[in-house]
Amino acid sequence: MPETTRELLSPGGWKALEFGPFRDAVTIHWIRPFEGDQPGVALLRYEPGASVPRHRHEGLETILVLDGVQSDETGDYSSGSYIVNAPGSEHSVWSDTGCVVLIQWDRPVKILEGEIA
C-alpha cells in the first residue's frame, strides 16, 4: 500500500482495501507486516460478534478505532478512540457490532488460550 493512502483510512478509504484471513470472523489488511525487529501495522476488520482470545502483549500495541466499537475487559471503544496496551498486558478483544481498527504491534502477541501467534 503506498504511503500516500494513509490519509484515506479515517474517512472510510479502508472499505476499498482487500482483507485476508486472520482469525475466525476477523480479517486483516497488512499495511506493513512484521519484518525482522520492525513493528507490524495493519487494519483488522471484526464481523459483528467476532473476538480474539485472551493474549499477552510482548511489545507495545496501539489501536485507533476507525469504525464501529471494539471492546475488551476494561471497556468499549468507539470510532475515534485511541488505545495503548503496554508490554506484558493481557486481555481478550471483541466487537458486538463489528468494527475496523488500525493497529500497530511492536511484537506479535502470544495467545494464551491454547494457540501461539
Q: Which residue has the cell 475496523?
A: 100
Query: Is 104 part of any domain?
Result: yes
Task: Check whether 105 has a pLDDT greater than 90.
Answer: yes
Query: Is 81 part of any domain?
Result: yes
Query: Is 7 part of any domain?
Result: no
Question: Which range among 6-10, 16-20, 76-80 shows the weakest confidence by mean pLDDT?
Answer: 6-10
Count CB-CB contacts under 10 A for residue 103. Answer: 19
**What CATH code is carried by the domain that includes residue 83?**
2.60.120.10
Q: Which domain holds residue 80?
A: 19-33+41-110
Q: Determine the number of helices (DSSP H) and then strands (DSSP E) in the chain.
A: 0, 10
Structural domain tally of the chain? 1
Give the tens place of pLDDT for each residue, 24-81. 999 999 999 998 888 999 999 999 999 999 999 999 999 999 999 999 999 999 999 9
Query: Is 6 part of any domain?
Result: no
**Residue-wise burial string across 11-29, b where 16 or more C-beta atoms lie within 10 A, e elsewhere:** eeebeeeebeebbebbbbb
Query: Is 56 part of any domain?
Result: yes
Q: What is the pTM of this model?
A: 0.87
Q: Report residue 91's pLDDT band, with 50, 70 and 90 as the boundaries.
A: very high
